[in-house]
Amino acid sequence: MSPKLEKFVDQLPILAALKPNRREADGDYYEITMEEFFQKLHRDLPPTRLWGYNRQVPGPTLDVIQDEPIKVKWVNNLPSRHFLPVDKSFLMPDLPEVRTVTHLHGGETPPPSDGYPEAWFTRNYAEVGPFFEREVYEYLNQQRATMLWYHDHAMGTTRLNNYAGLAGAYIIRDKYEKSLNLPSGEYEIPLIIQDKSFNRDGSLSYPKQPDNASEDLPNPSVVPAFFGDTILVNGKVWPFLKVEPRKYRFRMLNASNTRGYQLHLDSEQPFYQIGSDGGLLEKPVKLNMITIEPSERMDIILDFSKYEGKDIILRNNLGPNADPENETDEVMKFIVSKPLKEQDKSVIPKRLSTIPSLRANQISAYRNLKLVGSQDEYGRPLLLLNNKRWADPITEKPRLGTTEIWSFINTTAFAHPMHIHLIQFQVLERQPFDLDRYNEDGQIIFTGAPKPPEPNERGWKDTIKATSGHITRVIGKYGPFTGNYVWHCHILEHEDHDMMRPFKVIE
Ligand code: C2O
Ligand code: CU
Ligand code: CU
């Protein structure tokens, strides 16, 4: 358990945009180095050993313009040993302990730059994974303006590398969005939310492999979930932000390993959600509570104009059965104490964008994808997709440019945030079925009609909450690139153990 830490004593860090190392004829060139370093995460906590991009946790923000490609060389300068408990033998016994590969989550990226889990590399490229293709990644930025994020995606150690700090924001901007007069400049702030636990010396705490590991079995290291006992925003534990009495735009990302949040403000003021994973919604959605699962982004406007002089806490609803000692029911504090610099001329537009529905497209394939609880060859619990392991042959092969409906059939007892690389999709519906009956004889018996997605899920999404005992149907058009990608649960403990599958877009 973390030492007792006073809340709201550190200022929220603002994650400044990174300048390119140089401008080249075909786009800006960045070099971003992964290193081990120490950073102070709370006033009363000794500096914490972390892995960060450019010695920053979260990493520097990449702020780019639509249709202007950039290149990034992700340099691995990490030590050869992990400081978190690595289960060496679980998936692939011969993998080097420290391997990295960076994925741009939500990005429409050609395969050689997508950050395929087996395109990992070690320091100085001493060893590289079987899918490693290039040192310098290219991001085309030919997609809607939105906030994506980049994070480590190395085969089997994604949860540890992310927990150690390897994640950051990536914002694509366009002229249209600029014309909307949303809060901008210092009034537009990314909020990257994560949970972590600490030891007294400030070091990160992450559950070890159970000590019943036997000599003859690979270490049973299945950590099925991780819930930290502190909440960080932009790399500070329970920070505060002083704001002016006006509108702000917050670009929220849940970059936690497992934890989903149900956020609300103790002022009872509403959130105006203007965007989701893939950019602006058609119109703003007014919400008193927002649910954000791992890797989801929510573009939110908060209006503090009526709250001058007030303190407002962003709270996380833990439900009625929560342990009263659990302090993760608070996230951060807004202090409306800054004088208004100038009249707030920003707006919450009534109409934000147009989202052409994919429903009218001809459907080339319907895929039933079961989320199942299973066991590995040693009888240890494992969560799988369609009962297949990572290394099983590819089963999902959409044709380039065609539209498919994927049905995530969640037969487990909890929700999983399902993510598909390459595309932004649309949510069609969720339909409940009888979970008990399914678990007895594998029969799917619907217990209700399909329910439409929530109003704030009616835009473009790359990650969707697949609710327990429901089929969640999404429609997506596969392209514009062919090649190898992955789809997976974004609970990183699940993704690593073995809730991730390859897919391939074919000609
Ligand atoms: Cu956010 Cu496959 O990743
Ligand atoms: Cu992704
Ligand atoms: Cu999962």
Cis peptide before 480 (omega within 30 of 0): yes
Atom of ligand 1 nearest to the CA of 495: 2
The rounded distance, in Å, linking the Cα atoms of 373 and 370 is 10
pLDDT attached to residue 497: 86
Rounded to the nearest angstrom, the distance between the alpha carbon of 105 and the centre of ligand 3 is 17
Amino acid letter for position 143:
Q
Amino acid letter for position 266:
D
Per-residue confidence of the chain (507 residues) as pLDDT tens digits? 899 999 999 999 999 999 999 999 999 999 999 999 999 999 999 999 999 999 999 999 999 999 999 999 999 999 999 999 887 655 566 889 999 999 999 999 999 999 999 999 999 999 999 999 999 999 999 999 999 999 999 999 999 999 999 999 999 999 999 999 999 999 999 999 999 999 999 999 998 765 444 445 554 445 578 999 999 999 999 999 999 999 999 999 999 999 999 999 999 999 999 999 999 999 999 999 999 999 999 999 999 999 999 999 999 999 888 998 999 999 999 999 999 999 999 999 999 999 999 999 999 999 999 999 988 777 777 899 999 999 999 999 999 999 999 999 999 999 999 999 999 999 999 999 999 999 888 899 999 999 999 999 999 999 999 999 999 999 999 999 999 999 999 999 999 988 999 999 999
The rounded distance, in Å, linking the Cα atoms of 386 and 377 is 16
Atom of ligand 1 nearest to the CA of 463: 1
3.30.70.1450, 1.10.1040.10, 1.10.3480.10, 2.60.40.420: CATH of 363-505: 2.60.40.420
Q: Is residue 488 lining ligand 1, measured as CB closer than 6 Å?
A: yes
Atom of ligand 1 nearest to the CA of 117: 2
CATH 2.60.40.420 segments of the chain: 22-178, 185-207+218-335, 363-505
Cross-strand pairs, 415:
none
| Maximal CA-CA distance, the chain | 70
Q: What's the distance, CA 232 to chain centroid?
A: 15
The rounded distance, in Å, linking the Cα atoms of 257 and 252 is 15
Annotate 81-103 with three-state secondary structure.
CCCCCCCCCCCCCCCCCCCECEE
Rounded to the nearest angstrom, the distance between the alpha carbon of 403 and the centre of ligand 1 is 21
CB proximity list for 109: less than 8 A, separation 6 or greater: 115, 137, 138, 139, 140, 422, 481
Q: What's the distance, CA 297 to chain centroid?
A: 7
The rounded distance, in Å, linking the Cα atoms of 343 and 112 is 48
Q: Which single residue is written with the structure tokens 């969560």? A: 383
The rounded distance, in Å, linking the Cα atoms of 6 and 427 is 41
CATH number of 22-178: 2.60.40.420
Cis peptide before 58 (omega within 30 of 0): yes
Q: Is residue 153 lining ligand 1, measured as CB closer than 6 Å?
A: yes
Which phi-psi region, left, alpha or beta, contains residue 390 (left: φ > 0; alpha: ψ -120 to 50)? Answer: alpha
Q: Ligand 1: which residue has its CA nearest to atom 1?
A: 105
What is the ipTM for the molecules in this complex? 0.99
Q: Is residue 419 lining ligand 1, measured as CB closer than 6 Å?
A: yes
Rounded to the nearest angstrom, the distance between the alpha carbon of 355 and the centre of ligand 1 is 24
Q: Is residue 297 lining ligand 1, measured as CB closer than 6 Å?
A: no
CA distances from 106 to 47, 186, 444, 457 (A): 32, 25, 32, 15
Atom of ligand 1 nearest to the CA of 105: 1
Q: Is residue 251 lining ligand 1, measured as CB closer than 6 Å?
A: no
Atom of ligand 1 nearest to the CA of 151: 1
CATH number of 185-207+218-335: 2.60.40.420
The rounded distance, in Å, linking the Cα atoms of 417 and 499 is 11
Q: Ligand 1: which residue has its CA nearest to atom 3?
A: 105
The rounded distance, in Å, linking the Cα atoms of 249 and 277 is 15
Atom of ligand 1 nearest to the CA of 106: 1
Phi, psi of 124 (to 5 degrees): 55, 20
The rounded distance, in Å, linking the Cα atoms of 310 and 1 is 32
Q: Is residue 501 lining ligand 1, measured as CB closer than 6 Å?
A: no
Helix, strand, coil shares of the chain as percentages rounded to 5? 5, 40, 50
Question: Taking a C-beta distance cutoff of 8 angstroms, is the pair 347, 187 a contact?
Answer: no
The pTM of this model reads 0.97
Rounded to the nearest angstrom, the distance between the alpha carbon of 140 and the centre of ligand 3 is 30
Question: Taking a C-beta distance cutoff of 8 angstroms, is the pair 213, 267 a contact?
Answer: no
The rounded distance, in Å, linking the Cα atoms of 427 and 277 is 12
The rounded distance, in Å, linking the Cα atoms of 425 and 460 is 6
Q: Is residue 465 lining ligand 1, measured as CB closer than 6 Å?
A: no
Rounded to the nearest angstrom, the distance between the alpha carbon of 105 and the centre of ligand 1 is 5
